[in-house]
Chain A
Amino acid sequence: GAVVSQHPSRVICKSGTSVKIECRSLDFQATTMFWYRQFPKQSLMLMATSNEGSKATYEQGVEKDKFLINHASLTLSTLTVTSAHPEDSSFYICSASRGAQPQHFGDGTRLSIL
């Protein structure tokens, strides 16, 4: 089946640093990639949708200057959490799809800001 690779799987860093998370579709060209955030024992919440070559569409309440999304190619999207703070600590997960095909999820990134 389709494989989506997310890296890193876990990151711990100091408050104020920026963290980049990569999401790659390994065996298909993803026209759309999605970024989700999940707090403990809660449902996934969509942060933004990105289409290759165009600006990401952010959900209400998600700061676009805080969470920078780049979808430069059909196989790679990145999420950069800028000037991270402890409240940004969460589980971030990406997914990728091609056209109307099902979304395929990455394994997620657990971000801990000290």
Chain B
Amino acid sequence: KNEVEQSPQNLTAQEGEFITINCSYSVGISALHWLQQHPGGGIVSLFMLSSGKKKHGRLIATINIQEKHSSLHITASHPRDSAVYICAVIADKLIFGTGTRLQVFP
């Protein structure tokens, strides 16, 4: 079993839909990253959070340390949101989930 599990693995949505990606982890962490990887491969860090909730534009990330769970929400999704979203936890090193491939259709 992976130390960081993401669900769903693949997700398709219609433009405008509300999207949720989940991340569960089994190790002790100091913080958690949500990353976005575009088809070309480049990675952008969306959030780093250790408690509560953060919001940036249409993106919201929450974390529940007690339940070892985090969610990434995208409101009013758009085709340009299509990417792989990766959850990564900071334990003794950065441990990555396998990613969620999101496709948003117009």
Contacts and interface: CB of A to CB of B under 8 A. Distances in A.
Contact of B33 (A45, A49, A102, A110): A102
Interface stretch (B11-19, B60-68, B96-104): B96-104
Those 4 A-B pairs whose CB atoms lie nearest each other, nearest first: A107-B42, A105-B43, A108-B41, A43-B96
Interface string A28-45: 000000100010001111
B83 interface: no
A46 B48 CA distance: 18
Interface of B: 33, 35, 40-45, 48, 86, 88, 93-94, 96-99
What is the predominant secondary structure among interface residues of chain A facing chain B? strand
Contacts of A104: 45
Contacts of B45: 102-105
A49 B42 contact: no
A43 B94 contact: no
B97 A43 contact: yes
A32 B99 CA distance: 24
Chain A: interface size category? 10 to 19
A34 B94 contact: yes
Interface string A90-101: 010101000000
A104 to B, nearest CB: 7
B41 A43 contact: no
Contact of B96 (A44, A49, A107): A44
Given A91-B41, A93-B43, A103 B97 contact: no
Of B35, B94, B98, B99, most A-chain CB atoms within 10 Å: B94
B10 to A, nearest CB: 11
A49 B40 CA distance: 24
Nearest to A110: B41
Contacts of A45: 96
A42 B43 contact: no
